[in-house]
Amino acid sequence: MAGAIITGSSRGIGRAVARRFADDGYDVIINYRNNAEMATSVAETIDRETSREARVVKADVSDPGDAEALITTSVEELGSIDHLVNNAGIDQHVYTEQLPPTDFDRILDVNVNGAFNVTKAALSYLRESAVPEGPSITNISSILAYTGAPIECHYAASKAGLLGLTKSHARDFAPTIRVNAVAPGHIETDMTADRTPAEANRERQQIPLGRFGQPEDIADAVAYLRDAGFVTGETLNVNGGELMR
């Protein structure tokens, strides 16, 4: 049976990706850092509404020991790891002048080091995968990797770093494991819930498709990359046309 780990999947984009994998026939690991109740509820819904199984594993991806334990437990639970989605991420809105170096480091620790830690721990298991589409890693970057952002320089830097990691790992792990990224634009989740209605309207007007994205829009992109056997080192931009490259 095929299995997938989605980091940070107790809510938002991670939850939608986990559900999509279960709908598509994969057993899934719901990884969370703090909110056990929410993670358990996601897993119970998957168990109830799909034909696949979900297991809950607590781990802070920025901690290499936690990342190793996440993988060891996941292998025990699933039997194999065939796909990894490095989705866990944090954001913070602060101007550079007010940004303490420790906060800068924390964003990079989770968003870049976290993906590195989990990938490194999962590597030997992914290499053993026998799924017909081949094993894959998908990293969730951001449109801000290209555009930058004045009040979240550390977040933008972390998401740009993730694209470098993606391409490097795509080369490192070829031809066995495909490694790609998705760069979402504005997706309606808790992460973007702090906008005032006026700010949200202004942002929406920049999007040719006239709406914000939903977590399921990103799940579609991740599912495509999971199955796209001749695509590696690529970034799929999912932003309603806000940035056309």
- Choose the catalytic residue: 26, 32, 125, 155: 155
Does residue 226 belong to the site contacting ligand NAD (CB under 6 A)?
no
Q: Restricting to residues 30-89, name those near ligand NAD by CB under 6 A.
A: 31-33, 60-62, 87-89
Query: Which residue stretch of 48-56, 119-127, 173-181, 184-192 sits at the interface with ligand NAD (rule: CB under 6 A)?
Result: 184-192
The number of CA neighbours under 13 Å toward the Cβ of 184 is: 25
Residue 63's contacts (CB-CB under 8 Å, 6 or more residues apart) are: 117
- Which residue in the set 19, 55, 83, 186 belongs to the binding site for ligand NAD (CB under 6 A)? 186
Nearer residue to ligand NAD within complex by CB, 33 or 134: 33
- Which residue in the set 2, 4, 6, 13 belongs to the binding site for ligand NAD (CB under 6 A)? 13
Counting residues that bind ligand NAD (by CB under 6 A) gives 29
We find the least distance from the C-beta atom of residue 75 to ligand NAD, in angstroms, to be: 18
Does residue 134 belong to the site contacting ligand NAD (CB under 6 A)?
no
* 32 among known catalytic residues: no
The overall longest dimension of the chain from CA atoms, in Å, is: 51
Smallest Cα–Cα separation from 72: which of 112, 125, 108? 125
CB 1 within 8 A of CB 27: yes
Q: Which residues contact ligand NAD (rule: CB under 6 A)? A: 7-8, 10-14, 31-33, 60-62, 87-91, 110, 114, 140, 142, 184, 186-187, 189-192
